[in-house]
Amino acid sequence: MNNMENVYLWTVLAPLIGAIIAGLFGKRVGRAGAHWVTIIGVAVAFVLSAITFKHMVIDGAEVYNASVYTWMVSEGIRFEIGFLIDNLTAMMMVVVTFVSLMVHIYTVGYMHEDPGYQRFFSYISLFTFSMLMLVMANNFLQLFFGWEAVGLVSYLLIGFWYTRDTAIYANLKAFLVNRVGDFGFLLGIAAVLMYFGSLDYATVFGQVEQVDGQTITLFGDNAWSVITVICILLFIGAMGKSAQVPLHVWLPDSMEGPTPISALIHAATMVTAGIFMVARMSPLFEFSETALTVVLVIGAITALFMGFLGLVQNDIKRVVAYSTLSQLGYMTVALGASAYAAGIFHLMTHAFFKALLFLAAGSVIIAMHHEQDMRKMGGLRKYMPITWITSLIGSLALIGTPLFAGFYSKDSIIEAVAHSQIAGSGFAYFAVLTGVFVTALYSFRMYFLVFHGKERMDEHTRSHLHETPPVVTIPLILLAIPSVIIGAIFMGDMIAGDFFREAIFVLPEHDALGEWAADFHGWWAMALHAFVTWPFWLAAAGVFTAWFLYMKRPEIPGRIQARFQWLHTLLDNKYYADRFNEIVFAGGGRQLGQKLWRIGDVKLIDGLAVNGSAALVGWFAGRIRHIQTGYLFHYAFAMIIGVVVLLGLFVFLNQ
Amino acid sequence: MFSDWPLLSLVIWIPILGGILVLVTGSDKQAPLARLTALFWSVVTFLISIPLYTGFDTDTAAMQFTERHEWIGSWDIFYHLGVDGISMPLILLTTFITVLVVIAGWEVIKERVAQYMSAFLIMEGLMNGVFASLDSALFYVFWEAMLIPMFIIIGVWGGQNRIYATIKFFLYTFFGSVFMLVALLYLYFQTGSFAILDFHQQPLGMTPQILIFLAFLIAFAVKVPMWPVHTWLPDAHVEAPTGGSVILAAIMLKLGAYGFLRFSLPITPDASQELAWLMITLSLIAVVYIGFVALVQQDMKKLIAYSSISHMGFVTLGFFIAWQIYDNTGSYSGAAMGISGGIVQMISHGFVSGALFLCVGVMYDRMHSRQISDYGGVVNTMPVFAAFMVLFAMANAGLPGTSGFVGEFMVILSSFKANFWYAFLAALTLILGAAYTLWMVKRVIFGTVANDNVAALQDIGRREFLILAILAVAVLTLGIWPAPLLEVMDASVENLLLHMTQSKVIQ
């Protein structure tokens, strides 16, 4: 047991040490030194995570829950830093460290000319540390620490190219929008402490039934269930971090950061923190159907409407970004349908294939000399065979092609929603089903525009086109493998079996997933069965439509766009969400600040109250002006010395 | 080995005498000697203050390291010193920050160096005197005397508008103090003693309590400063030299908050309870209203000054939340966390605001401008400095892992128990604090090099690096492991809460 304690501790410390060395001593260790030290740090974390995974999942060890140190004690309440290691944590650790390791290696190639090389490695290792702290936490305090720390690193990395105006705009926006979520999250934590008297997961989850039924009044006399309020507040945090509507606006802009971090942070790991958190809190969420409905509806809106936006993007990274938003919506829908296991399952498969798609997009971007507009690409499959095949694998996984990873996780979600009895599940079912078609359409629109069809780049770029170096392609291949097989491997355990054991709690009456999974007869049978279900044909229709519109009859999209100009404008402006926030919140905040300052402080307080006693001030000023001729400080020092002498004298005399 | 030394007298008088010695070095020809002498005495004072922590007994709320000598016998005034878990950390903060301020003024101050250094040393002693006094007459002497060096610092080494700022500063604070004096005299006539601890035990009727509370409120609210008596602070900061701003923000503001803990709450608990709604309202106005005002400031020092007021709102909110918690939940559980959170916020704000003012000072020394619009892309020419600035900005925005998080976290947790909406408004600082701080960072630090002046900037030297690195370590240490600080204050806060929750009204 003691052995494993060290394993956990070093899992988080190894990347932290790497980050500190690369960050503080970047100049001394040099570029190679920085990437070696951080890669080794993350590799150690990955190996230790794999050991943890084997220990927990394969050997079936007891859940580990212990404190590392006491952060503080106030009123006898202990705020600890500690680890809770169960199967959910173990799985997350492996996913985080594996994707992180791939991204570290990939970065060697992607950033090799960048002057901020060491700084970049320091940041991504720091991110790995923060994310591990988040998933390994055994209490809300540490969860919040990790939560905000990943936000910090995200801020630093989106603004990594700090001379770009768009980048430093995007990182500020990302941080502030996340802070709106964290605002709710922190209030949720405060509510947990108030009603449970502790921030320790185990203690809190153990008392849910005592707190269930208690109420709190917020507006007037309306009594709210405490659990509902807590869950909704916590979920607001998840909405920020996992970019759910209406707090989604920061994620597309976060693409201003270098591509490796789009893969690591804004696709595979950090943005899934909200999903992880809600799954971790399943013992709370299960006791509030109201909160589950909120989760379900928000997720469904995100899944469908963010997918639409992917259809009109021309920037290759932004297509993948909107796809990420939409897939996060799927995961959230799963949570709302109490299919936490399906949500986490999709989180895991998505981490692999979406990281793959991002890194493949990055590979394309390198080859295209940092051109990201898909209208200037086309026919790349001839020049970049590895990137082409791995992208195809990623896309097939994303749209849910039978046997690929995404198929199992996405079908589990769709089926769970179909069986769910929670209010709003009808709408959610419609959204996720329609989403399948939309996903297939935008994914293969991108795929065809980039890898097939006419070569639309200029002559200079074409003449330099070639496959990217092995540091880039090897991570692509290593990510492509799990994107194919990971679904089939874990489907039986995670969805039909008892993979998560006590980590995830579902009330029997909410167990839609279990109801459906009772009919599960192995991954092969499920893949075969897919051919008689809606999702498969919807996806196929999406691929076909993409082929027809962008390969067969490429003039049609322009005509559709001209015909439905209003719709295109609406989508192109992202439903005007950015414009709205810009005017109402950013502009309104500044306006309010100006008013409060100019009118409140300057006019009323200073103007009326302070200068209203102008006579007094004038009189004083008159006095002071006379002595303010250079002798003042002499005079004042004399005063102090006088006080000193006086004090000293009395002390001395009275002893 | 230090236990029988009069440590508190030493931390008061060594800097004062050291300051006089520095003054003796005389003209600016002797400036290097003045600097070294000042550094020597400030370091000595800091070292002497350390045994106050190491020798501190955390199990008791009683005053420790006490010294008591008769001073003015006919008035029962004693030279009476002592510290508890509330004042001891503040003395350490003072001795710590003063060392940094002396180093910060090293090359920057070129005129009247000896006077500058000695003013800071003398002020250090006087501020320690305020924190250590257990006799209210002694307290009052230190409290008033402290204004003089600050007045001089702003008035002599300040900016162009320094005269206006000093007068505003002086008028505001002096005005407040007069009411405090009246209250102290009233209490003296009631108890026949100037001992603060005797005041704590004195039963008082409701009307006198209210009047005393309001008198104290005027004195302390101006110092904190609380809305609406805060407008002197941005002006004072803008005109003060960097060192003056650091001391002002890091320590002088804490004196007002300390006054609430030492006087208002334990002496007039019933009035405090009666007027808690007012204090909470003013605190929340400070957090939200001032947060918005900070957002639109064009001058970096003003922005940080407004941010200070907003952060101090958490301090007063935490102090006065106890009774509302009782009304809402039927117990005082959570009240001590609010008070402790307020104190942690005081210490943390000392580090963070001090660091931010030093950062602005670093830029001002090079560019002679505090206007945000004169900057842009500083990171390109000052990368090391930029890293520090971003760290302190994050601490100011209350990022977990930095000290800025701890106090706000505790106060928000505590105020949730009183009322959801208090916590809601207080937690808005998560958004507002990040908005005004990081927006400034975006405009000043990030971006392309804005102009030739920025292009010509030199990154920080060793001296500046040293100061900022020490503060960075302090900010991170307190953020990662606040337990030792909490442990020190625990017993004293419990004791304070006991005083607060027992009625003193004469039946």
- Cα B481 off chain centre by: 21
CB-neighbour burial class of residue A615 (10 A; exposed 0-12, middle 13-18, buried 19+): exposed
Residue B209, phi then psi, degrees to nearest 5: -60, -45
The H or E element spanning position A472 is helix A470-490
As given in the structure block, the two tokens for residue A217 are 């009044």
Q: What is the mean pLDDT of residues A478-498?
A: 89
pLDDT of A617 over the 80 cut: no
DSSP A607: I
Mutate: best of B127, B289, B430, partner A, most A CBs <10 A: B430
Q: Is the dihedral of CA B417, B420, B426, B431 positive or negative?
A: positive
Residues near A367 by Cβ (< 8 Å), separated by ≥ 6?
A: A380, A383, A384, A387, A465, A466, A467, A468
DSSP A564: T
Q: Which of B174, B334, B346, B194 is nearest to B260 (CA)?
A: B346
User: Is the CB of B332 inside 8 Å of chain A's CB atoms?
Assistant: no
∠ Cα A590 A596 A600 (to 5°): 165
Helices then strands (H, E): number in chain B?
Answer: 26, 2
User: Which pLDDT does position A623 carry in this prediction?
Assistant: 63
pLDDT of A16 over the 90 cut: yes
Strands (E), A52-125: 64-74, 77-85
pLDDT digits (tens, 9 = 90+) for A258-286: 888 888 888 888 999 999 999 999 999 99
C-beta atoms of A617 and B167 within 8 A: yes
User: Which pLDDT does position B298 carry in this prediction?
Assistant: 92
CA distance A75 to chain B (A): 7
Residues near A519 by Cβ (< 8 Å), separated by ≥ 6?
A: none
Under DSSP, is residue A387 helix (H, G, I), strand (E, B) or coil?
helix
Residue ranges of alpha helices (H) inside B331-400 are 335-367, 378-381, 383-396
Least confident of A204-208, A376-380, A425-429: A376-380
The H or E element spanning position B66 is strand B64-72
Q: Which of residues 260-289 of B touch A (CB under 8 A)?
A: 289
Q: Which of residues 134-163 of A touch B (CB under 8 A)?
A: 144-145, 148-149, 152, 155-156, 159, 162-163
Identity of residue B64: Q
How do the domains of chain B map onto residue ranges?
Answer: 1-157
pLDDT of A186 over the 70 cut: yes
User: Which pLDDT does position A629 carry in this prediction?
Assistant: 53
8 A C-beta contact, residue B291 and residue B436: yes
User: Which pLDDT does position A604 carry in this prediction?
Assistant: 78
As given in the structure block, the two tokens for residue A369 are 């000399």
Residues of chain A with Cβ-Cβ distance to B146 below 8 Å are none
Q: Which of residues 101-120 of A touch B (CB under 8 A)?
A: none
Residues of chain A with Cβ-Cβ distance to B341 below 8 Å are 74
As given in the structure block, the two tokens for residue B259 are 């006054």
Residues near B191 by Cβ (< 8 Å), separated by ≥ 6?
A: B198, B199, B202
Identity of residue A383: Y
C-beta atoms of B231 and A610 within 8 A: yes
* Model ipTM value: 0.93
Q: What is the C-alpha to C-alpha distance for residues B478 and B475, in angstroms, rounded to an integer?
A: 6
Q: What is the C-alpha to C-alpha distance for residues B86 and A338, in angstroms, rounded to an integer?
A: 49
Q: Which of residues 197-236 of A touch B (CB under 8 A)?
A: 216, 218
User: Is the CB of B490 inside 8 Å of chain A's CB atoms?
Assistant: yes
Mutate: best of A127, A597, A628, partner B, most B CBs <10 A: A597
C-beta atoms of A74 and B410 within 8 A: yes
pLDDT of A597 over the 90 cut: no
Least confident of A280-289, A622-631, B37-46, B289-298: A622-631
Q: Which of A179, A177, A284 is nearest to A229 (CA)?
A: A284
Q: Which of residues 380-399 of B touch A (CB under 8 A)?
A: 380, 390, 394, 399
Residues of chain A with Cβ-Cβ distance to B155 below 8 Å are 628, 632-633
8 A C-beta contact, residue B269 and residue B501: yes
8 A C-beta contact, residue A398 and residue A470: no
Mean model confidence pLDDT for chain B? 90
Q: What is the mean pLDDT of residues A455-469?
A: 86
Residues of chain B with Cβ-Cβ distance to A655 below 8 Å are 69
Residue B224, phi then psi, degrees to nearest 5: -55, -45
pLDDT of B168 over the 60 cut: yes
- Estimate the share of chain B in helix, then strand, then coil, as percent rounded to the nearest 5: 75, 5, 20
Residues near B14 by Cβ (< 8 Å), separated by ≥ 6?
A: B41, B44, B45, B48, B125
Q: What is the C-alpha to C-alpha distance for residues A286 and A264, in angstroms, rounded to an integer?
A: 30
User: Is the CB of B340 inside 8 Å of chain A's CB atoms?
Assistant: yes
Q: A631 falls in which pLDDT band (50, 70, 90)?
A: low
Q: What is the mean pLDDT of residues B343-369?
A: 93
Point out the residue among A71, A187, A637 whose CB comes nearest to the CB of B23: A637
How long a stretch of residues is chain B? 507
Under DSSP, is residue A373 helix (H, G, I), strand (E, B) or coil?
strand
8 A C-beta contact, residue B146 and residue B112: no
Residues of chain A with Cβ-Cβ distance to B70 below 8 Å are 654
pLDDT digits (tens, 9 = 90+) for A107-162: 988 888 888 899 999 999 999 999 999 999 999 999 999 999 999 999 999 999 99
Q: Which of A176, A129, A136, A122 is nearest to A150 (CA)?
A: A129
Task: Tell me the β-bridge partners of A70.
Answer: A80
Residues of chain A with Cβ-Cβ distance to B410 below 8 Å are 74
User: Which pLDDT does position A633 carry in this prediction?
Assistant: 62
Least confident of A26-40, A409-423, B17-31, B429-443: B17-31
∠ Cα A115 A116 A122 (to 5°): 150
Least confident of A218-232, B156-170, B192-206: B156-170
Identity of residue A466: H
With a pLDDT cut of 70, the percent of chain A lying above it is 92
Q: Which residue of A has its CA nearest to B494?
A: A75
pLDDT digits (tens, 9 = 90+) for B40-83: 999 999 999 999 999 889 898 888 898 888 888 788 888 999 99
Cβ count near B382 (within 10 Å): 21
User: Is the CB of B466 inside 8 Å of chain A's CB atoms?
Assistant: no
Q: What is the C-alpha to C-alpha distance for residues A484 and A496, in angstroms, rounded to an integer?
A: 20
CA distance A274 to chain B (A): 18
Q: What is the mean pLDDT of residues A359-370?
A: 89
Point out the residue among B23, B73, B295 whose CB comes nearest to the CB of A590: B295
pLDDT of A644 over the 80 cut: no
User: Is the CB of B168 inside 8 Å of chain A's CB atoms?
Assistant: yes
User: Is the CB of B71 inside 8 Å of chain A's CB atoms?
Assistant: yes
